[in-house]
Amino acid sequence: MKKTYLSKSRFTAGLQCPKRLYLTVHPPEMPEEEDGGDSLPILNGYAVGDMACKLYPGVMVEYDQGLSAAIKETIRLVADEQVQRIHEATFSFDNVLVRVDLLERTDAGWILTEVKAATSVKDYYLNDAAIQTWVLQGRGLKLAAVRLMHVNNQFVYQGDGQYDGLLHAEDISEIVYARLDSIGAQKDTFIEMLAGDMPDIEMGEQCYSPFECEFCAFCQPDDLPEYPLNALPRMHAPRREALQASGYEDIRDIPDGVLQNPNHQRVWRATCAGEEEVDATELAELRKWGWPRFFLDFETIGLAVPRWKGVRPYAQVPFQWSCHIHHENGRMEHVEFLDVSGDDPRRACAEGLVKHIGKDGILIAYNAGFEKRVIRELAAMYPDLTDALLEMNERFVDLLPITRNAYYHPSQKGSWSIKAVLPALVPELNYADLDGVQNGGDAQLAWMQAASADPQHRKEIADHLLAYCKLDTLAMVKIVDALLERNEHV
């Protein structure tokens, strides 16, 4: 019988849910998803890994010749006392295979370092480190310490390729050593489970924590209710589970009087009635808005390894904005900014805002706290533009809470994101009709691709980005129009 190996990622999949591990080893048939390329978190992970190799240079164990060759090469490097640091050292012990991000030789023994792109130590990282430690100890390596290296969010890039201080290592030896006893027993349980039938595990909280499981589509029951209870906004899991235990699967199954939270009651009423619910008193605010109205939306990029001077890891740097300007006489203008060159976009971004947004009128954003924060950071960066930018922030109104309080349609399924609200209020506008970029995640990836694309491809990506951001601000204009129209008819 073929031996089943557990890698670190399989092991941690099993800790999240044994069925996830089973399905990883025995993949089911699932509809193929379009490959949209690596997500930004994955690209950030690669960038942090590369930076760890640069800041702590050592010998890399390559994987291109296969697993056995990598293990052999690791044994050779461990035996060579001239080698101080090894990246991706590969070990196997008792059916468990691991690759160690960074292994450093010291007089007291080896220091094992797990590198993560996050900005703090998370509990599930400790399991990653414990599995590796268990294997290395099993192979007879003497360990001096186990460390978790993560991004230091206090770091500010000063330019000239100086990244000393970007990564911060914490000693996690004690917590990891305390977990070692359970690893061997856990491994035996997993190996035994993998030799049997697929475990019978229902979907639950574990499917989304610490990661969204890739087998949700497989495990989802075929007879999913049209309006599942998780469409009741922000309902705590125990309350939802209690309702399910009472036999309610669909929001419409719940009898009158069971839900106490006013927002849950509103969602329940609209869903049972099968029609939108509008609260006219909440819309009074819209009527008071002044003119002109600047509907503004930013697209930003948050890089773990900052590229531009004065930027912290994961700071949201704006590379694009769109603004629809609605005048009192009904005239509509559209202005926009986009930089996909890969150079620092902030100065031109800030100057464009100051140029196009005058001193009169209001600024409108959907979840305005984000736009205001971006503007505040630009204001702090450019003293000559500070006053003009901060003055804009005084004139913001937030369309999200107004929409949330005033409107609900059953098709929103508990969400007031602009992508959930738009099809209900303005069905003729649709993000799905856009080419290439259809959400903020797509926009960030598009920016990453554009920065290294040839001119023609870059132009194509830029067009997709412009169309996407323009739709975001047009959507706000149309949502306001549609809400005012509802107000007239209530």
Residue of 215, 319, 408, 468 interacting with ligand SF4 (CB under 6 A) = 215
Binding mask 321-340 for ligand SF4 (x = CB under 6 A): --------------------
**Of residues 165-204, which lie at the interface with ligand SF4 (CB under 6 A)?**
201, 203
Q: How far is the CB of 249 from ligand SF4 (least distance, A)?
A: 17
Name the one range near ligand SF4 by CB under 6 A: 13-21, 64-72, 279-287, 339-347.
Answer: 13-21
Q: How far is the CB of 27 from ligand SF4 (least distance, A)?
A: 12
Q: 127 with 96: CB under 8 angstroms? A: no
Q: What are phi and psi of 230, to 5 degrees?
A: -70, 0
By the rule CB under 6 A, 206 interacts with ligand SF4 = yes
Name the one range near ligand SF4 by CB under 6 A: 15-23, 133-141, 161-169, 293-301.
Answer: 15-23
By the rule CB under 6 A, 69 interacts with ligand SF4 = no
* Residue 201 token pair: 């595990």
**Of residues 16-45, which lie at the interface with ligand SF4 (CB under 6 A)?**
17, 19-20, 23
Q: 261 with 471: CB under 8 angstroms? A: no
Closest CA to 64 of 96, 25, 90: 90
Could you count the other beta carbons within 10 Å of the beta carbon of residue 224?
10
Q: How far is the CB of 241 from ligand SF4 (least distance, A)?
A: 15
Residue of 108, 216, 258, 484 interacting with ligand SF4 (CB under 6 A) = 216
Distances from the Cα of 456 to the Cαs of 413, 459, 462, 463, in angstroms?
Answer: 40, 5, 10, 11
Distances from the Cα of 119 to the Cαs of 40, 46, 126, 156, in angstroms?
Answer: 15, 15, 15, 14
* Residue 389 token pair: 């930018």
Applying CB under 6 A, the site for ligand SF4 has a residue count of: 12
Q: 276 with 424: CB under 8 angstroms? A: yes
35 versus 200: smaller Cβ distance to ligand SF4: 200
Q: How far is the CB of 198 from ligand SF4 (least distance, A)?
A: 9
4 versus 220: smaller Cβ distance to ligand SF4: 220
20 versus 312: smaller Cβ distance to ligand SF4: 20
222 versus 256: smaller Cβ distance to ligand SF4: 222
60 versus 203: smaller Cβ distance to ligand SF4: 203
- Output helix, strand, coil percentages for the chain, rounded to the nearest 5: 45, 20, 35
209 versus 341: smaller Cβ distance to ligand SF4: 209
217 versus 332: smaller Cβ distance to ligand SF4: 217
Q: 193 with 21: CB under 8 angstroms? A: yes
Cα separation, 431 vs 437, in Å, equals 9
Residue showing tokens 């929001």: 251
If you write DSSP's letter for every residue of 29-68 in order, what string do you get? P-PPPP-----HHHHHHHHHHHHHHHHS--EE---TT-HH
Residue of 48, 89, 213, 446 interacting with ligand SF4 (CB under 6 A) = 213
Q: Which residues bind ligand SF4 (CB under 6 A)?
A: 17, 19-20, 23, 201, 203, 206-207, 213, 215-216, 219
